[in-house]
Amino acid sequence: MRIALPAAMLASFAFAACTSEGIYVKVAAQTQSLAHRAGLDPRLLMLASPPACAILPAAAPSAPGLAPLVSQTLDRALHEFNAAETVLSAGQSATRLNAAGAAADWQGLAAAYVASGVMDRERLGKVGKALGVRHVVMPMLATMTSQHSERFDLFGFTIDRTFWITIDTSLQVWDVETGELEWQSTGTCTAATEAAVATRGSLVGSLETLWKEMLTDMFELRSQSALRENLPAPSEVEVTRVKSTTKPAPGAAPQPAAPTAPAAPH
């Protein structure tokens, strides 16, 4: 048996499919940054020629499969600061580490860092020697929380959804010879996307937003940044079902569930 769908509904499905990347994306983010070494000018580290700084492959303890994406978004953010040519990218660093036979040293360093938040000085020195730099940058996606609300649910078909995603990241600069933590920044970002299907657009946008704010803190020697937009709350959309998933980093305190809106009256 065939069911004839009204033309308006078919048009809505077509519109939703064509806008799968989202009708809008709104973002709110904030960072806290701190230089741990007196007189440090991170701009000199990031813009030195030949390169004196390398980006290490990103850590993503709550979602290891996203680590390459985290690194890629940081690489793109560096282009806006004219630092992409003066800093070794995460991909270049991985290649040099493997070519120098230092992959095991890096694996041990990364595992210990995720567990303790501290770079082991001995392994850090070996990694720095293999990379041929004095300073390394360590990016990390610490936590990621997502939620979505479905609306315009007609005859079992969901035409549109609003997705929220919140991430916490950190960016640190270490001296490979002294083992000193020279500079660090932590940040949180929430993005809301109106979309027909789930995409990584809001995650990519959130990551790039935070990296750009953190790099701005670094290059302008700021202690904090804030980017605020009016995010649609779950109560502002017609909600029929709400689902949440939270992926905390190992050892992280549990995050409270985001408030959900009641279903719209029929």
Where do the domains of the chain lie?
Answer: 20-247
Q: Please state which of the ranges 66-80, 113-127, 172-186, 235-249 shows the lowest mean pLDDT.
A: 235-249
Q: Please report which confidence band the pLDDT of residue 4 belongs to, taking 50, 70 and 90 as the band edges.
A: very low
How do beta strands 224-227 and 53-55 pair?
Answer: unpaired
Q: How far apart are CA 187 and CA 31, in angstroms?
A: 4
Q: Please report which confidence band the pLDDT of residue 27 belongs to, taking 50, 70 and 90 as the band edges.
A: confident
Q: What is the pLDDT of residue 75?
A: 94
Judge contact between 54 and 48, C-beta under 8 A.
no
Global pTM reads 0.74
Residue 62 φ/ψ region, left for φ over 0, alpha for ψ in the -120 to 50 degree band, beta for the rest: alpha
Q: Please report which confidence band the pLDDT of residue 233 belongs to, taking 50, 70 and 90 as the band edges.
A: low
Q: How far is CA 85 from CA 27, 48, 51, 126, 258, in A?
A: 29, 10, 8, 24, 41
Q: What percent of the chain is modeled with pLDDT above 70?
A: 68
